[in-house]
Amino acid sequence: MTDDQVVVGLEVHCQLDTKSKLFCGCSTDYRADGPNTHVCPICLGLPGAMPVLNKRAIEFAMKVAKALNCSVLHESEFSRKNYFYPDLDKAYQITQYDKPLAEGGYLEIESDEGGERKIRLTRIHVEEDPGRLVHMGNAERGRYSLVDYNRAGIPLIEIVSEPDMRSPKEARKFLNKLRATLEYLGVFDSDKEGSLRVDANISIKGSERVEVKNISSYKGVEKALTFEVTRQKNLIRRGQRVERETRHFIEGSGITQSSRSKEQEHDYRYFPEPDLRPLQVQSWVDGIVLPELPDARRQRFIDQYGCSLNHARTLTGELKLANFFEKVVAADPKGLSTLAATWIADTLIGELNYRDMGIDTVNPALMTELVTLLKQDRITDKSGVEVLRVILDQIKNKESPETPSAIIVRLSLAKTTGDDTALKAAIKEVLAEQAKAIEDYRAGKNGALNFLVGQVMKKTRGKADPAELNKLLVSMLDTMEA
């Protein structure tokens, strides 16, 4: 380690995608419904109600433990973590303390230097989510809290890493890999808002550790940690001490703030949950069959589809994306894979992100058709992008998207092949309009030819084949009368 080495550890909480809550039968599908509509005596913490453990939550957690190479304990148990907060209706959270479900394990990520690095895990355990608190009012109107217990009792898996990450970027990669793995296992839905929360621990070697709590987005983690690295390094540079403390991340401004004033020193007074019984599930491990995980799928994309490492990495980075790719090339993998990989990884993803759309809004068949047309050289790349944008805009506007073929006809995007009359006419028009550029070209000025190419492209609305256009333009320029 270097002297000012950054050291990062993460505690990641993910909601497990079960149908019912961890300790009761309330449905977990609460996001579209009104407050306090997915609540029963158990998750409301009414006096006398008792928890009963959801078997599927444990099965899911064990899949994760196996996929991450953890050791499942012979016997684990649930404990009470006691503290007072409005969103915690029993005034204790049922979690796992000294006997978690599993310990050890690791996750491999792409390190900053290239190559793979193993990030070790400390433990994995299962616990319940508290409710949701809304802060209301202000100094004038009187502040108070509003609480919705729909989220109370949702099963969470907590994955704790060793402080093995060496930069905010590695932390983001760890999170992405973890998220993808959980998606591939079918135990986690990352599209659900708030389904993943992170507490990060960060220090500069030799200085105190700072905890940043409750970061709820992947980008947020990298931002928060980047801010912290700067803040801590500045303190050290000025000869000041980094204080060991808890901070929270302010998503909007990208800064972290001290939580000192809010939090008292917590004494959680853990003890085993007397209403639940111990788990002895080590024997389940052998019987767990894991699906294909991200690393294996990445390798398969390289082997089976001839994808480059980078493309394979991008395409398998999200389960839905990987599935989309395979659907697109299914009709003709040999013929379509290379082009499809490029167009999906390098173009489609960007266009989707720009429009804040998910991959599952796009029918793979449309992509298959587009890639096929491109492969047949029926349209230029530029036209291809235009077609894609039209389709995505239509989907975003909740219209039924046209097929690529229909768009090409409607917008006359089909490449002109063989017959270059239209092209010559377009070039002639441009040459007539752009006297200055012609002068620049003759004077040997560098951008002039490209400028003229651009002007012709405009006229032909991108339909012209660039290579052909270039050749023709140069020949017409050179044979022009001065």
Partner 1 sequence: MVTEKEVEHIAGLADLGINKDELAEFTHQFNAILDYFDVLDQVQGDTAITHELTNVMREDVIEPSLPQEDVLRNAPAKEDGFIKGPRVM
Partner 2 sequence: MAGEIRFEPADRFNAFLTICKTAPHGDGKLAGIPVAVKDNISTAGIETTCASKILKGYIPPYDAHAVTLLKNAGAAIAGKTNMDEFGMGTTTENSAFGPTLNPCDPSRVPGGSSGGSAAAVASGMVRMALGTDTGGSIRCPAAFCGIVGLKPTYGRVSRYGLIAYANSLEQIGPMAKTVSDVSLLMQVIAGYDRHDSTSRDKPFTHTPSADIKGKKVGIPAEYFGEGVDPAVAASVHTAVSKLEELGATTVPCSIPSMKYALAAYYVTCTCEASSNLARFDGVRYGPAPDTKKSWHDAYQEVRREGFGTEVRRRIMLGTFALSSGYYGKYYAKAQIARENVRNDFARLFKEVDVIAGPTMPTVAFKLGEKSDPLSMYLADILTVPANLAGIPAISVPCGIAGGMPVGLQIMGRPFEDETVIDVAYAYEQAVI
Rg (CA), the chain: 29
Q: How far is the CB of 272 from partner 2 (least distance, A)?
A: 9
Reference 387, options 451, 343, 324, 321; nearest CA is 343
Interaction partner, residue 57 (partner 2, partner 1, none; CB < 5-8 Å by kind): partner 1
DSSP 364-401: HHHHHHHHHHHHTT-S-HHHHHHHHHHHHHHHHTTPPP
- Buried-exposed string 447-476: b where 16+ CB fall within 10 A, e elsewhere: ebbebbbebbbebbebbbbeeebbebbeee
Interaction partner, residue 205 (partner 2, partner 1, none; CB < 5-8 Å by kind): none
Residue 432 near residue 399 (C-beta atoms within 8 A): no
Interface with partner 1, residue 219, by CB under 8 A? no
Stretch that binds partner 2, among 45-53, 65-73, 232-240, 449-457 (CB under 8 A): 45-53
Question: Which of 147, 357 has the CB closer to partner 2?
Answer: 147
Query: According to CB under 8 A, which residues from 260 to 289 bind partner 2?
Result: 267, 269-271, 274-277
Query: According to CB under 8 A, which residues from 143 to 182 bind partner 1?
Result: 143-149
CB count, 10 Å around CB of 79? 22
What's the CA gap between 171 and 212, in Å, rounded? 13
Interaction partner, residue 130 (partner 2, partner 1, none; CB < 5-8 Å by kind): none
Interface with partner 2, residue 419, by CB under 8 A? no
Question: Which of 92, 174 has the CB closer to partner 1?
Answer: 92
Task: Give the x/- contact pattern for partner 2 in 88-117, rule: CB under 8 A.
Answer: -xxxx-------------------------
Interface with partner 1, residue 333, by CB under 8 A? no
3-state secondary structure of 100: coil
CB count, 10 Å around CB of 410? 10
Query: According to CB under 8 A, which residues from 3 to 42 bind partner 2?
Result: 41
Among 7, 12, 14, 39, binds partner 1 (CB under 8 A): 39
Stretch that binds partner 1, among 134-142, 200-208, 446-454, 461-469 (CB under 8 A): 134-142
Interface with partner 2, residue 134, by CB under 8 A? no
Question: Which of 261, 421 has the CB closer to partner 1?
Answer: 261
Stretch that binds partner 2, among 84-92, 154-162, 297-305, 470-478 (CB under 8 A): 84-92
Residues written for the chain: 482
Task: Give the x/- contact pattern for partner 1 in 279-318, rule: CB under 8 A.
Answer: xxx-------------------------------------
What's the CA gap between 297 and 295, in Å, rounded? 5
Q: For 136, what's the count of Cα atoms within 13 Å in the CB-facing half-sphere? A: 9
Contacts of 191 (CB under 8 A, 6+ apart): 358
What's the CA gap between 162 and 159, in Å, rounded? 10
What's the CA gap between 327 and 365, in Å, rounded? 8
Q: How far is the CB of 47 from partner 2 (least distance, A)?
A: 4
Question: Which of 267, 478 has the CB closer to partner 1?
Answer: 267
Question: Which of 270, 284 has the CB closer to partner 2?
Answer: 270
3-state secondary structure of 239: coil
DSSP 3-28: TT-EEEEEEEEEE---SB-SSS--BS
Among 10, 26, 68, 200, binds partner 1 (CB under 8 A): 26
Q: How many chain residues touch partner 2 (CB under 8 A)?
A: 32
Query: According to CB under 8 A, which residues from 52 to 71 bind partner 2?
Result: 52-53
What residues does 156 pair with on adjacent strands? 15, 127
Residue 382 near residue 351 (C-beta atoms within 8 A): no
Interacting residues toward partner 1 by CB under 8 A = 18-20, 24-27, 34-41, 44, 52-58, 75, 84-86, 133-137, 143-149, 262, 267, 269, 276-281
Interacting residues toward partner 2 by CB under 8 A = 41, 44-53, 80, 82, 84-86, 89-92, 142, 144-145, 147, 267, 269-271, 274-277
